[in-house]
Amino acid sequence: MYKLTNVKKDYQKGRGVVHALQGVDLTIDDGEWLAIQGPTGHGKSTLLQMLGGLDRPTSGSIQFGDPVSGGDLAQLRETQVTKVRAESIGFIFQTFNLIPTLTAQENVEVALVPLRVPAAERRQRAAAALADLGLADRARHLPSELSGGQQQRVAIARALVKEPKVLLADEPTGNLDEGTRDEIIGLLEKMWRDHHLTLVLVTHDSTVARRAQRLGIMKNGKLSIKQDTRSQAASAPGAGLQAGSLG
Amino acid sequence: MFFTYLGRELRRRARQASIIAIGLALGIGLVITVTALSSGVKNAQGEVLHSLYGQDTDITVTKAPTFGSFSAGGSTRFRFGGTGSGTRPKAGTKVTIDNLTSTGLSSLSAADVTSAAKLTNVAAAAGGLTLTDTKDSITIPSSTSGGGGFGGGGGGGGFGNFHPPTTMTVDGVDVSGNAAALGPLSSAKLASGRTLAASDSNSDVVLLDSNYATSNKLKVGSTVTIAKTSFKVVGLVSQAASSNPPDAFIPLARAQALGTASGKSLKGDVNTIYVAANSAQNITGVSKELSALLPKTTVTNQNDLAKQLTGSVASASSLANNLGKWLAIAVLAAAFLLASLLTTAAVSRRVREFGTLKALGWNSRRVVGQVVGEAITIGIIGGAVGVGLGFLGSALVGHFSSSLTASLGSDTGSATPGGARFFGGGGGGFPGGGGGGFPGGGSGVNRFRSALANNSPTIHVHLTPTISGGAIAAAVVLAIAGGLIAGGFGGWRAARLRPAAALARVE
């Protein structure tokens, strides 16, 4: 799904330059679950933004998709990158990032608007996505009327409703308590398996990271792979963690 | 989704949206009120000015008399007999004088009227005569200082029992075709009887001013003598007293046949040409063409007279056009600025939200469209409230304003050099006689020029602010423009957001 070649990202900060990514080389296969761990400020989120086309690297290439239908996210025009995000990439954020004035259902529908899905179909797909995540009875509630775990489930529904190829999650359990964290991670694992997604999850939580097939460590802008269990049976979840109930 | 998101967002920041809308409403309301006030003042001015020279007349052409064209001077001479030095009637003879004369204006020919009508952008032209009918009867005294003429009003040559002559101002009007719509008769309202028709062109019929008729106990069907000719009263008209209206209207051809100027017949002549331009925009151009066509004449249009208006109507006009206009512009500019600042601030507070939308695949155009849509909606709400405030403001101005006054100044292109003046009447006559003159004959000067004299009456008009469809359309445009400007600033801010930077912001 991805091939990153010598990707670098520098930021101007005052009089100095911050080297957020220092030549990252990475290949992510279709259907793979990659977790990226590391201390704060070492480039995890920056790498995720590169994968999502939310920002451009200073140098290097980010090949997305197959060589025929895909493209280098670093070279594509803004409109083309936006189209890739709309069609193929789902995002989950630490702070949920739901639109506060829209209901749960409308927040999920928002992801289908760029795809010009007719209104009736949008409503039907959004309702189905929420129902899959056990939130059918919360469809008309505003985010302020939902718990943290429910809000993150709405965000997951929003990410999945467009049937993306890739799901990028930036600290999805960072704002949740332990019980809810387990629930959400279990849910993400289920979605990854059921939808054959490529899942890249950034976390500082080792418990979460160990559940992935592959674990990369970001340190000082460089990525090293610590764990690779792709050759093992991929269906086994991490020890001690079960997919939580959806209630 | 667009309208759902828009409506929810405006509800969320209802207070801010209200402030923006109220600001725009105040600006737009002020613009409408000032526009309505200007329109009302213009109508008041028009009411004053049209009463002077007719509803559809835009330009008048007159010609100042040349020096020495009248027999008035230091004295008047009374002559007897056809040759001007005829025999003095016997003492005790009662002599009746009834002369219809043009004084204060030189004659223009019918050909000048035709030439004026043929100019580009002239819708119609008509000639008219402003005349004075002077009546008097004197008894020849018994003593004399010799034959020939007498010095008027002096020494032993004076007349016994001298009393001032009676005068009646008479307008000769062209009642044929389009010409009937021009001139002072066009602004007169028929009070009884009928008006003059094209078929009356050579008839001895007269329209009387209703006040004159009342004063002289005349009515429809009565008979009036003008230049020793009996005219039948066919109608009474009411006219604005401010316009110094004539006492009577007779067909132009009859006025030309009976009237004289400096002892000469007025056949084929007029002393005022009334011209209508085919549009308000062409009045100035037509005025210039007329000046070029008839170089020795005085061409006056509505704009010239409007500049001479004094009184509170002129003050109101100045207030509306200067202070009012600039105040409205300043308030509107402030409202636009406030709307832009608040909209940009709102966008800044929604950086993470817009960053999320972009991450979900919303392109910049869709995000900007949402921001602009919200701003335009607030603008439309402000515009609607502004129109309401405009109607309210106009109604309050109309209700509480006292009537305006207007007078005309004395120094404006008067046909009489140096201002309107009274000249001795010409063309008077004794039985069998030709020339002669009377001291201080009635005012034969052009009516509106006489109104330009220092002692012109003060006219009262009520101010009625008028809101036109154009003003409301302008309000709608301003409202949308306000929304677009505010939305443009906010949208520009939103469009520049890079999703990664937006998502990195901590709120």
Mean pLDDT of all residues in B70-80: 42
* φ, ψ at B203 (rounded to 5°): -100, 155
Q: B330 in a domain, yes or no?
A: yes
* pLDDT-based confidence at residue B452 (cuts at 50, 70, 90): very low
> Among A110, A156, A160, which would you mutate to test the B interface (most chain B Cβ atoms within 10 Å of its Cβ)?
A110
Chain B residues lying within 8 Å of A54, measured CB to CB: 358-359, 498-500, 503
Q: How far is B340 from chain A (nearest CA, A)?
A: 22
Q: How far is A134 from chain B (nearest CA, A)?
A: 22
The answer to which of A43-57, A193-207, B139-153, B476-490 has the lowest mean pLDDT is B139-153
Amino acid present at A111: A
* pLDDT-based confidence at residue B151 (cuts at 50, 70, 90): very low
pLDDT at residue B474 in the model:
80
Q: How far is B354 from chain A (nearest CA, A)?
A: 9
Q: B59 in a domain, yes or no?
A: no
Q: Residue B276: which residues within 8 A CB-CB, separation 6 or more?
A: B56, B57, B58, B59, B122, B123, B124, B125, B181, B182
Q: Considering only alpha carbons, which residue of chain A is nearest residue B2?
A: A113
Q: How far is A119 from chain B (nearest CA, A)?
A: 8
* pLDDT-based confidence at residue A228 (cuts at 50, 70, 90): confident
Residue pLDDT, tens place only, B99-136: 898 877 888 988 999 999 999 899 889 999 999 999 98
Question: Regarding predicted confidence, which is higher, B420 or B304?
Answer: B304
Whether B72 and B217 share a structural domain: yes
Burial of residue B400 (number of CB atoms within 10 Å: 0-12, 13-18, 19+)? exposed
* pLDDT-based confidence at residue A166 (cuts at 50, 70, 90): very high
Residue pLDDT, tens place only, B265-278: 889 999 899 998 88
Question: Regarding predicted confidence, which is higher, B35 or A169?
Answer: A169
pLDDT at residue A242 in the model:
33
The count of structural domains within chain B is 2
CB A25 within 8 A of CB A47: no
Q: Which of B8, B503, B504 sits opposite A101 (nearest CB)?
A: B8
Report CB contact under 8 Å: A102, B4: yes
Whether B357 and B495 share a structural domain: yes
* pLDDT-based confidence at residue B312 (cuts at 50, 70, 90): low
The answer to which of A230-234, B123-127, B314-318, B502-506 has the lowest mean pLDDT is A230-234
Residues of B with CB under 8 A from a CB of A: 1, 4-5, 8-9, 11-12, 352-353, 356-364, 366, 498-501, 503-504
pLDDT at residue B46 in the model:
63
Is pLDDT at A30 greater than 70 in this prediction? yes
Report CB contact under 8 Å: A110, B12: no
Whether B26 and B134 share a structural domain: no
Q: Considering only alpha carbons, which residue of chain A is nearest residue B351?
A: A97
Mean pLDDT of all residues in B212-217: 93
Mean pLDDT of all residues in B213-221: 93
Q: What percent of chain A is predicted at pLDDT more than 70?
A: 91
- For chain A, the average pLDDT equals 85
Mean pLDDT of all residues in B187-198: 90
Whether B26 and B144 share a structural domain: no
Q: How far is A45 from chain B (nearest CA, A)?
A: 9
ipTM over 0.90 threshold = no
**Distance between CA B143 and CA A166 in Å, rounded?**
132
Q: Which of B12, B358, B499 sits opposite A101 (nearest CB)?
A: B12
Q: Which of A91, A95, A122 sits opposite B360 (nearest CB)?
A: A91
Chain B residues lying within 8 Å of A117, measured CB to CB: none
Q: Decide which of 3.40.50.720, 3.40.50.2000, 3.40.50.300, 2.40.50.100 is the CATH code for A2-228.
A: 3.40.50.300
pLDDT at residue B154 in the model:
39
The answer to which of A115-119, B72-76, B160-164 has the lowest mean pLDDT is B72-76
pLDDT at residue B83 in the model:
42
Report CB contact under 8 Å: B5, A100: no
Helices B14-53, B325-349: crossing angle, 10 deg rounding: 160
* φ, ψ at A147 (rounded to 5°): -75, 170
* φ, ψ at A105 (rounded to 5°): -65, -45
Q: B56 in a domain, yes or no?
A: no
Q: Which of B5, B359, B503 sits opposite A102 (nearest CB)?
A: B5
Q: Residue A221: which residues within 8 A CB-CB, separation 6 or more?
A: A9, A19, A20, A21, A22, A24, A42, A43
pTM, full prediction? 0.62
Q: B190 in a domain, yes or no?
A: yes
Is pLDDT at B467 greater than 70 in this prediction? yes
Q: B95 in a domain, yes or no?
A: no
Q: Considering only alpha carbons, which residue of chain B is nearest residue A55?
A: B500
Distances (CA, A) of A241 to A184, A193, A226: 11, 16, 20
Question: Regarding predicted confidence, which is higher, A238 or B406?
Answer: B406
Q: How far is B343 from chain A (nearest CA, A)?
A: 17
Report CB contact under 8 Å: A97, B352: yes
Q: B128 in a domain, yes or no?
A: yes
- For chain B, the average pLDDT equals 76
Is pLDDT at B74 greater than 70 in this prediction? no
The answer to which of A102-106, B126-130, B303-307, B408-412 has the lowest mean pLDDT is B408-412
Report CB contact under 8 Å: A91, B361: no
Q: B422 in a domain, yes or no?
A: no
The answer to which of A126-140, A160-174, B221-235, B332-346 has the lowest mean pLDDT is B332-346
Q: Which of A83, A87, A97 sits opposite B356 (nearest CB)?
A: A97
Q: What is the DSSP letter of A141?
A: -
> Among A101, A110, A171, A202, which would you mutate to test the B interface (most chain B Cβ atoms within 10 Å of its Cβ)?
A101
Whether B331 and B203 share a structural domain: no
DSSP per-residue letters across B264-314: EE-TTEESEEEEEESSGGGHHHHHHHHHHHSTTSEEEEHHHHHHHEESHHH
Cβ neighbours of B350 (radius 10 Å): 26
The answer to which of A9-23, A131-145, B125-139 has the lowest mean pLDDT is A9-23
* pLDDT-based confidence at residue B307 (cuts at 50, 70, 90): low
Whether B240 and B332 share a structural domain: no
Q: How many A×B Cβ pairs under 8 Å?
A: 78
Structural element, H or E, at residue B167:
strand B166-173
Report CB contact under 8 Å: B1, A109: yes
Pairing status of strand A214-219 against strand A222-228: antiparallel
Residues of A with CB under 8 A from a CB of B: 45, 49, 52, 54-55, 78-79, 82-83, 85-87, 91, 93, 95, 97, 99-102, 106, 109-111, 113-115, 119, 122, 158, 162
Whether B318 and B359 share a structural domain: yes
Chain A residues lying within 8 Å of B500, measured CB to CB: 49, 54-55
Cβ neighbours of B115 (radius 10 Å): 15
**Distance between CA A141 and CA B415 in Å, rounded?**
84
Whether B282 and B135 share a structural domain: yes
Question: Regarding predicted confidence, which is higher, B192 or B432?
Answer: B192
Q: B489 in a domain, yes or no?
A: yes
Chain A residues lying within 8 Å of B504, measured CB to CB: 45
Residue pLDDT, tens place only, A89-117: 999 988 889 999 999 999 999 999 999 99
Whether B380 and B276 share a structural domain: no
* pLDDT-based confidence at residue A146 (cuts at 50, 70, 90): very high
Mean pLDDT of all residues in A234-242: 40
Nearest Cα to Cα of residue B357 among B151, B498, B195, B179: B498
Question: Regarding predicted confidence, which is higher, B237 or B457?
Answer: B237
Whether B135 and B74 share a structural domain: yes
Q: How far is B484 from chain A (nearest CA, A)?
A: 23
Chain B residues lying within 8 Å of A113, measured CB to CB: 1, 362, 366
Residue pLDDT, tens place only, B228-242: 999 999 999 998 765
Is pLDDT at B287 greater than 60 in this prediction? yes
Mean pLDDT of all residues in B324-330: 77
The range of the structural domain enclosing residue B398 comes to 2-41+314-402+466-504
pLDDT at residue B313 in the model:
60
Burial of residue B411 (number of CB atoms within 10 Å: 0-12, 13-18, 19+)? exposed
* C-alpha neighbours within 13 Å on the C-beta side of residue B212: 26
The answer to which of B328-342, B345-359, B375-389, B490-504 has the lowest mean pLDDT is B490-504
pLDDT at residue B460 in the model:
61
Report CB contact under 8 Å: B500, A54: yes
Whether B379 and B432 share a structural domain: no
Whether B246 and B152 share a structural domain: yes
Q: How far is B504 from chain A (nearest CA, A)?
A: 9
